[in-house]
Amino acid sequence: MINDDTKTLLSRRAFLGQSGIGLGALATTSLLNEASAAQSGNSELPHFPAKAKRVIYLFQSGGPSHIDLLDHSPAFGRLHGSELPDSVRGGQRVTGMTAGQKKFLVCGPVSPMKQRGQFGTWMSDLVPHTADIADKITVINSMHTEAINHDPGITLINTGSQIPGRPSLGAWASYGLGSANADMPAYIVLLSQGNGKNPGQPIFSRLWGSGILPSNHQGVLMRSGKNPLLYLKDPSGLNRPIRREMLDDLAALNEGSFARFGDPEIQTRIAQYEMAFRMQTAAPEIVDLSDEPESTFKLYGEDARRPGTYAYNCLLARRLAERDVRFVQLFHRGWDQHGSLVPHLTAQCKDTDQASAALVTDLEQRGLLEDTLVIWGGEFGRTSYSQGGLGNGRDHHGRCFSIWLAGGGIKRGGVHGATDEYCYNIVKDPVHINDMNATILHCMGIDHERFTFKFQGLNTRLTGVEEAHAVKQILISKKSITEKK
Amino acid sequence: MRIRSTVASIVLMLLVFAVPLLTSFALGEEPDPLRFNRDVRPILSDNCFGCHGPAAKDAKAGLQLHSFESATALLGKGEDRQALVPGDRKASELWKRITSSDPDEKMPPPDSNHRLTPGQIEVLGQWIDQGAEYEGHWAFQALKAAQGASIDSLIRARLDGTGLRSAPPADRATLLRRITQDLTGLPPTPEELDAFLVDHNPDAYERVVNRLLRSPAAAERLAVDWLDGARYADTNGYSIDDHRDMWIWRDWVLNAFLTNKRFDEFTVEQIAGDLLPGATEQQRVATGFLRNSMNTHEGGTIPEEYRVTYNVDKVDTVATVFMGLTMKCAQCHDHKYDPITQKEFYQFYAFFNQSSEPGSGATNANTGPLIEAGSAICSPERVKRDAAVRIAELKRLRAVPLARIAVQRDRWETEQLASLGLLKNGRAVAKKLVLFPQDQPSWIWSAADRTAESVEFERRFNLEAIPAEARLWVTCDNACEVEINGRSIGSSDDWTRPKVFEVRGLKVGDNTIAVRATNIGASPAGLLLSLAMRAANGEEWHVVTDKKWQARLLVAGAAGTNWEPAAELVKHGGGAWGTLYGKEPLDAGPDALHQALGMAKADRTTEHWATINTAFAEMQPAFKTLTNQLDLEEKILRKAADTGRTTVMVMDYKPRKTHILTRGAYDQPGAEVSAGTPSTLPPLGVAGTPNGKRTRLDLAHWLVDPDHPLTSRVIVNRYWQMLFGTGLVKTAEDFGTQGEFPSHPELLDRLAADFVASGWDLRRLLHQMVMSETYCQQSAATPELLEKDPYNRLLARAPRFRLAAEFVRDGALAASGLLNDDLGGPSVHPYQPDGLWEEVSHYGYPKPFSSQKFLPGSGRVLYRRSLYTVWKRTSPPPSMAIFDAPSRETCSVRRLNTNTPLQALVMQNDPQFLEAARALGDLMAAEGSPQNGIDLGAKRVLGRAPTTKELDVLSAALVRYRQAYQSQAEKARQLLASAGASGSGDPVQVAWTLVASTLLNMDEAMTRQ
């Protein structure tokens, strides 16, 4: 019987051997200590060759309206203003916000939908730039979730469970694959707030937390300004040569402790201080946009010059991807249009559309899209009936919603899954959140069923205990890759 | 082997050697006979029980392997095969399957995630051959206490035959630091160290132990772990995560540890204090333990769904904290591994379901049931004082808002000053703005002819001293020239705003001010003037236009008529300064805003700030949002500030039916159940309520029944974990079949039995552990030890591990002399990077929620112990989260221990640690010589004298840093300012600060060893 600890060590070692970083940087990463905490059931990773070396998740927090953006029903012209039939609602669990409503008036898309690109993908006029990249992305219109409110919804999609405490997707990726950049953490989080609904629904550190995994896998917040990572900046008046001297002294003192105590953790500590020192150079370089040409801001929009905006964060995401940061996740708030649907949704799209599309285009131009998976989507969709009067707003809707994906092994162009004429219930190819997370892991070369962490006696996995499947239909098949070559 | 070839690290080579050692705990040359619980059950549980375990419904092919009876039964009707044939592996179907090479036959199935190693297969084979004996799961069996055995004898018995021996005793300095860190979370003081080093009495160590165990610091240290398990926090959790007040409960915990409350009472009061006969206020407070569950009031919440969730959380917490059971696994289905059915889960759940707690939580407040209560350890006066201090902090934030808003406000101030014309070269001419025309002048003109074209005015006044400053405001409809003592001051032809003049030429004694004013045509005229003067002692005088002035008409080409008193033109132009020019804020010269803006920032009073900020808020939504938040937070504090008491959430008893919830869904009730405990465990006694129903009180007594096999073991194990880094059962959160078998089962039982027999005396338990030679031995790891026992489960050396997040910080505060040792009370707001809460919260929502923006404290509260730091669940204190503190959203009884670059950044750059370095540096500098200073620093941080090498390295650094900053006064000043010191930038102070920071960053500084 192999002790769990040993298995972890072996797999970590396998990772270190493969990652090409060499032992200098990471081999001493708290092997003994961390492993003693991390009982792992995972075997050598990746399980199969990864299509996506890195992931950029553009999380749209609040529940973007699939009806107004991506999911099209020609019947809305006829149904607009009519009462949603009970047969369609079908005893659905509705939130406390519209449960008491007497009328459920169907509201068609607030802006015209048109077919885009050679695949004829339906998209709204609200997202003209996304429409321009229609042939580069796959739209899924058949996403679904059990959650009907933000907290459980956003927790479920990011951690695979509605109940707080589980590791986030990015933490799993960090845990499984480690960092490919010796100077930066594997999982970086960027936050922004849109103009659609300000403030948007709250978000929480658990969405990028490590849950039951060791805490070094938690997402690291990258912030705008001079201190892009918490505590990164040396105090004013302390220059780099002084810091260097201090670290050299510190290493000498710590070596003395090591000689007395023989604890490998001391060597790890020395190595971590060195990595911190490198991060102090690497991270400010990432947020220093002075080397970006004017064309960048033409592509992403002028907002990209303003720290803290969604566009700026999209640009940072590209700069992080260039540096092989494994998992970058943007959390953009403001998609919760219970009211003021038209002005708020318009504002929200204006903040996000150009930069989202620019990121895909930019990655492609730099040859990075092929092995970078980009995901755009929120925690649920919105009702096709109106909250309040006709056209006022839309309530949460978990039975179906839309997301899009690009690069990293995803097919270029096309739509997966379909809903009924009310954009209310899925009629073809449902994709549960856990299926989507399985797909993301799949693109990273991980079989979600074999990627587990033992906690409280259970081999816990991101995709939960129910069956889940990677959506193979949206992946580039081996054959098509061969043809391309 | 492929793997081995890729590795060149000594550490990893050691691990490869370690593999055979760790395959079981049989470390001797001759293996122990197989024991089911230790050797066999883990294999079956890990690989087989998922499909063939106690959950009857899931049993594939009807086979269950968790008991002898089911595993040896015939495999179905008409079958003669048995999974297990005791004594004969070849006849056993299990053996055939696990050794089969046919993928259709092989077990575990190749497409599962489970794979047996050859070693595991052989263990199963031997076990079948030896008779396939089962044991009940060890943790559910009664305690088996070895009489007379000591901790050390049991540890050494386990070492026998491994080739390892206990290490020699640690040196005294190391031991003192270890025991002080372990029991109080603080390092020893240099005085304590010196005293201990010269105390050669045989009982010197024991006296230290006893002193520490009784100290308030020990209560604080013990509370930290309990707060993790109890998921204690200062916010409600979930999405809005507004504030709650549970610190009264936290103080109850502190008091319990401080008074060494019997642990059985400690348990009973927290589970059912409200149901005790004649329950006291504090006994009811204790049940806050259960109410620490998160709650939500997010719009759209379906209350019943969350009411169920809160109760499931209570089940999870009680089961984990007291029994090490993962009961929540049985919420949706029978437990896969442990003998807990779904029905039993809901019977347990029923205890907590009987309360009036609602599903939708209160906003910005505690949710009922709640009581108003006082702290068990803080007087009402102290609580009032703390609340008042916090209110003062909030007021200060209104005056000096956080950086981003402060920048906006400064910009606004500049704009205002510029519009007043009182900005020179981008700087406020603040000094010149000190004087303002405070009195209300009147418009005046000649009484003789109110439409006369030209009028001369005069006013005499007497001065006892020459003013330090004097300024004059004047306007006239339409124009005027002003003279003082015969010298022209200037003229004005702007009748829409006052013109301002500096006034010189005043003298002691009589002075004269004269004005020649001109009107145009027959329209109403008027003069408005104010002369403000201030003496060096701050006294002010004013001369304003009023009836005391003399006026005479000027006739063209000739001297005028006689002097006579001027007439006040009451309605002329709408009045005096304020009303005439009020529409343009800064033209309202005399108003308070104008005056406040003119004050240098350092000189402004609270009233000045209030005036400025109110005006600013009117124009700046961001500041308005802040002031709204401040108002709300202050309002919430009022109660505590007035009464010294606050509310706390507690349990109550309200009968309610409980149903099994199908698949755990709140809206799928199945059969009704009554309160009860799992049948695997001893039966529940029924003291009962008058109507005979089982209540939480019965549950509480059941948990601490001496015959309960779990509670004492689980508690004792966690204290072992606290002192030794790893529990005797490593999986402190799981004593079920999937948990780890104890490294020293006899020791665990011996300690647990003693704990119960002693009357659940926690101090006695800790005393026993820390008095053992095992505890007191050296922690140095030799290559042999690392090779044979890398995780130190055999304890042939003392463990060495990084301190918990709280104690990393507390240690630095103590070492630097900054620590504020106030005990208990409301939570505090020490340093935290700006903006973290806002980034994720509902900050700015029109109807504000509390705790949406971190509002930093100041002064002494910055140095309180870390357990008092305000804990927001959706954004926990960042420097502590980086050191593995949990979010406190759910129960957690074992922290992981990582070693990361972000930790290095916290230690180097967090203002808290910088300030500690500076304060420690100051103490070191005061020692007079580099050697003495470094000696003191090492003692304070490391609890020992420095080594020669350390002394050399740090002395050299001290010289280098001093030289480096000698010619860099500005840099020195900046650095010290970052470290919380004002001053001119003394290079010596900088050098000591950096040397102190180096010490605080040492691995040893954050490690107990």
The DSSP string of A36-87 is: HH--B---SS-SS--S-SEEEEEEETT---HHHHT---TTHHHHTTSBPPHH
Structure ipTM: 0.81
To the nearest whole Å, the CA of B629 is away from the closest chain A CA by 14
In this structure, which amino acid lies at residue A248? Answer: D
* Record: contact A249-B783, CB cut-off 8 A: no
b/e burial code for range B514-553 (CB count within 10 A of at least 16 → b): bbbbbbeeeeebbbbbbbbbbeeeeeebbbbbbeebbbbb
Q: Which two tokens stand for residue B340?
A: 């807990």
Q: Which run of H or of E encompasses B489?
A: strand B487-492
Q: Do A250 and B1002 touch (CB under 8 A)?
A: yes
Whether B908 sits inside 8 A of A29 (CB atoms) is: no
Q: Structurally, how many domains does chain A consist of?
A: 3
A457 closest CB neighbour out of B300, B736, B908 = B736
- Tell me which amino acid residue B464 is: E
pLDDT single digits (tens) B297-344? 998 889 999 999 999 999 999 999 999 999 988 888 888 888 899 999
Of B189, B252, B154, the C-alpha closest to B768 is B154
A477 or B974, higher pLDDT: B974
Helices A264-287/B901-909 angle, 10° precision: 80
In a domain, A250, yes or no: yes
Domain membership of residue A471 (yes or no) is yes
Q: Taken in order B586, B589, B595, B599, is the CA torsion positive or negative?
A: positive
B19 in contact with A at a CB cutoff of 8 Å? yes
For chains A and B, count residue pairs whose Cβ atoms are closer than 8 Å. 323
The pLDDT-based confidence of A22 (bands split at 50, 70, 90) is very low
CA distance B360 to B357: 9
Q: Return the SS3 of B511.
A: strand
Residue A28, domain member (yes or no):
yes
The more confident residue out of A458 and B801 is B801
Among candidate residues B898, B11, B7, the one with its CA nearest the CA of residue A18? B7
Beta strands (DSSP E) in A289-388 are 327-333, 372-377, 381-382
Tell me if B476 sits within 8 A of B526, measured CB to CB: yes
pLDDT at A45 > cutoff 90 = no
Smallest CA–CA distance, residue A97 to chain B, in Å, is 5
pLDDT at B556: 65
Q: B977 CB near a chain A CB, below 8 Å?
A: yes
The reply to whether residue B11 touches residue A246, judged by beta carbons under 8 angstroms, is no
Question: How many Å separate Cα A434 from the centre of its chain?
Answer: 14
Write the CB contacts of A102 (distance below 8 Å, at least 6 apart in sequence). none
- Shortest CA gap A407–chain B (Å): 29
The encoded tokens of residue B110 equal: 């190749």
Q: Are residues A325 and A403 in the same domain?
A: yes
Residue B2's pLDDT is 35
Residue with tokens 């070559």: A485
Is residue A71 assigned to a domain? yes
Residue A474 belongs to a domain? yes
pLDDT tens track for A242-277 = 999 999 999 999 999 999 999 999 999 999 999 999
Distant-in-sequence, close-in-space partners of B998: CB < 8 Å, separation ≥ 6: A246, A249, A250, A253, B954, B957
pLDDT at A6: 33
Collapsing DSSP to helix, strand or coil, B498 comes out as coil
Q: Which of B23, B904, B970 lies nearest to residue A2, judging by beta carbons? A: B23
Considering the domain architecture, whether residues A293 and A326 belong to the same structural domain is answered as no
Q: How far apart are CA B1008 and CA B661, in angstroms?
A: 47
Count Cβ atoms within 10 A of the Cβ of residue B78 and give its class: 0-12 exposed, 13-18 middle, 19 or more buried.
exposed
Looking at CA atoms only, how far is residue A310 from chain B in angstroms? 13
Shared domain check, A390 and A354? yes
A185 and A107 share one domain? yes
Between helix B606-619 and helix B380-399 the angle, nearest 10°, is 60
A369: its two tokens:
């899209």
In a domain, A45, yes or no: no
Whether A268 maps to a domain, the answer reads yes
Q: Do B12 and A31 touch (CB under 8 A)?
A: yes
- Whether B914 and chain A come into contact, CB under 8 Å, resolves to yes
Same domain, A186 and A137: yes
Does the CB of B119 have a partner CB in chain A at under 8 Å? yes
What band does A386 get if pLDDT is binned at 50, 70 and 90?
very high
- Answer for the pair B777, B984: CB distance below 8 angstroms, yes or no: no
Question: Are the C-beta atoms of A463 and A437 separated by less than 8 Å?
Answer: yes
Q: How far is A257 from chain B (nearest CA, A)?
A: 7
Residue B47: its pLDDT value, please?
87
pLDDT of residue A38: 32
Q: Is B975 in Cβ contact with A238 (below 8 Å)?
A: yes
CA B904 to chain centre: 19
Among the listed residues B300, B628, B775, the one whose alpha carbon sits nearest the alpha carbon of residue A395: B300
- Cα A52 from Cα B217, distance rounded (Å): 51
Q: Provide the β-strand partners of residue B487.
A: B484
In SS3 terms, B267-312 reads as HHHHHHHHHCCCCCHHHHHHCHHHHCCCCECCCCCCHHHHHHHHHH
The ranges of chain B with pLDDT < 70 are: 1-32, 57, 418-440, 496-497, 521-524, 556-560, 570-595, 618-619, 686-691
Q: Does the structure show a pLDDT above 80 at A230?
A: yes
Residues B501, B482 contacting (CB under 8 angstroms)? yes
Q: Which of A302, A322, A343 finishes a domain? A: A302
Same domain for A85 and A195, yes or no, is yes
Contact B498, B577 (CB under 8 A): yes
Q: Report the residue of chain B nearest A308, measured CA to CA.
A: B839
Using alpha carbons, list the distances in angstroms from residue B356 to B237, B370, B653, B654.
Answer: 20, 10, 7, 6
Q: Which residues contact B413 (CB under 8 A, 6 or more apart)?
A: B428, B597, B612, B616
Domain encompassing residue A9: 1-40
Compare CB distances from A249 to B45, B731, B957 and report the shortest one's residue. Answer: B957
The pLDDT assigned to B946 comes to: 98
How long is chain B? Answer: 1009
E-assigned strand segments in B590-693: 646-649, 658-661, 669-673
Rounded to whole angstroms, the Cα distance separating B790 from B155 reads: 17
Give dist(CA B360, CA B296) in Å, integer: 6
Q: What average pLDDT does range A105-134 have in this prediction? A: 96
Q: Residue B690: is the preceding peptide bond cis (ω within 30°)?
A: no
Residues A407-411, mean pLDDT to the nearest whole number: 96
Which long-range contacts link B665-672 to residues 24+ away (Cβ below 8 Å)? B666/B302, B666/B304, B666/B305, B666/B307, B666/B308, B666/B309, B667/A93, B667/B304, B667/B305, B671/B343
B855: its two tokens: 């509002």
Looking at A241, A274, A302, which one is the last position of a domain?
Answer: A302
State the SS3 of B924-968. Answer: HHCCCCHHHHHHHHHHHHHCCCCCHHHHHHHHHHHHHHHHHHHCC
Long-range contacts of B660-664 (CB under 8 A, 24+ apart): B660/B342, B660/B343, B660/B346, B661/B308, B661/B331, B661/B346, B663/B332, B663/B333, B664/B312, B664/B331, B664/B332
Ramachandran assignment for B725, one of left (phi > 0), alpha (psi -120 to 50 degrees), beta (any other) = left
Domain end, chosen from A282, A302, A322, is at: A302
- Residue A46 belongs to some domain of the structure: no
Nearest CA to A57 among A376, A457, A431, A476?
A376
Task: Mark yes or no for CB contact A93/B302 under 8 Å.
Answer: yes
Same-domain status, A119 and A195: yes
* Co-location of A84 and A144 in the same domain: yes
- Residues paired with residue B986 on neighbouring β-strands, in sequence order: none
The CATH superfamily holding the domain B437-585 is Galactose-binding domain-like (2.60.120.260)
Amino acid at B179: I
Confidence category of residue A473, pLDDT binned at 50, 70, 90: very high
Kindly tell me the number of DSSP H helices and DSSP E strands found in chain B: 39, 19
Question: Please, which residues have CB within 8 angstroms of residue A314's CB and are 6 or more apart in sequence?
Answer: A58, A300, A304, A330, A355, A356, A358, A359
Domain ranges in chain B are 1-27+137-166+709-798, 33-136, 244-370+650-703, 375-426+590-644, 437-585, 908-1008
CATH of the domain at A347: 3.40.720
